[in-house]
Amino acid sequence: MSEAPSERTRLHRHPERGAYDRQTVGAILNEALICHVAWVTAEGEPRVIPTIHARDGDTLYIHGSQASRTLRAIRAGAQVCVESTILDGLVLARSTFNHSMNYRSVVVFGTPREVTDHDEMDRAQRILVEHVVPGRTADARIPNDEELKQTAIFAIDLDEASAKIRADGPHDPEDDLALPIWAGVIPLRLTVGEPEPDEHLVPDVEVPGYVTGYRRGGPTM
């Protein structure tokens, strides 16, 4: 466990599960497919939306529509909290009180900046696509100018980020260990089904290897 970069990133409940190093934070963000962006309006009302994210070194990109009310507020300078979680297992204890889940999560605080530079916008678009399906940008058409006008991308520095990981079995009190009740972990994994081709495919288009061989990562202990 490294040092928390700021007081608001410091874990207070189960601090032994915390990690603040960029390698751990980055690995979780790289594997997770979606994040939630939370912010507070000028009227003091909370808001949160799910969106796509991708990491590029020490920068986290989030993607959305220019019409999004949340992204319009972010453009005005709102601070945000970004959270992403990967669920790895259901932990069944001998008592319902001690049931839990195994997970890997990241929380990031910061004030996003809008990406307006054309070159950075192009790179961020590619990074976002490659984050979801590695290899796809070599095949797919890149956005045209009209499509780019409808897209908003914001960058957040990973200066204030923390990870929290639970990767363990049930924590039953000693008095419960003799109970004749099954306890343990039900592992959960993101599985990939058979590709479903679009009905409008032109003839003789082969399924790319990055589709047939698609995989996401797994938990690291």
Instruction: Round the average pLDDT of the chain to a whole number and report it.
Output: 91
Q: What is the pTM of this model?
A: 0.90
State pLDDT tens for residues 182-193: 999 999 999 999
In angstroms, the CA 116 to CA 158 distance is: 19
**CATH code (residue 105):** 2.30.110.10
Residue 53 lies in a domain: yes
Residue 104 lies in a domain: yes
Residue 220 lies in a domain: no
Residue 70 lies in a domain: yes
* Least confident range of 3-12, 62-71, 137-146, 169-178: 62-71
Residue 112 lies in a domain: yes
Place of tokens 């874990």: 11
Res. 126 pLDDT band, cuts 50 70 90: very high
Q: Is the pLDDT of residue 111 over 70?
A: yes
Six-digit token pair at 10?
Answer: 């410091």
Q: Quick one: pLDDT at residue 73?
A: 76
State pLDDT tens for residues 27-82: 999 999 999 999 888 788 898 999 999 999 999 999 887 767 777 777 778 899 99
Six-digit token pair at 123?
Answer: 């790179």
Residue 62 lies in a domain: yes
Residue 221 lies in a domain: no
Strands 35-40 and 80-92, by their bridges, are antiparallel
Angstrom CA distances, 43 to 46, 102, 174, stand at 9, 37, 50
DSSP assignment, residue 87? E
In angstroms, the CA 172 to CA 25 distance is: 29
Res. 21 pLDDT band, cuts 50 70 90: very high
In angstroms, the CA 9 to CA 113 distance is: 20
Quick one: how far is CA 55 from the chain centroid?
A: 9
Residue 194 lies in a domain: no
Please give the tally of structural domains in the chain: 1
Q: Quick one: pLDDT at residue 150?
A: 85
Contact 61, 155 (CB under 8 A): yes
Of 76, 5, 70, nearest in space to 38 by CA? 70
Mean pLDDT of 191-200: 94
Structural domain containing residue 150? 7-189+199-212
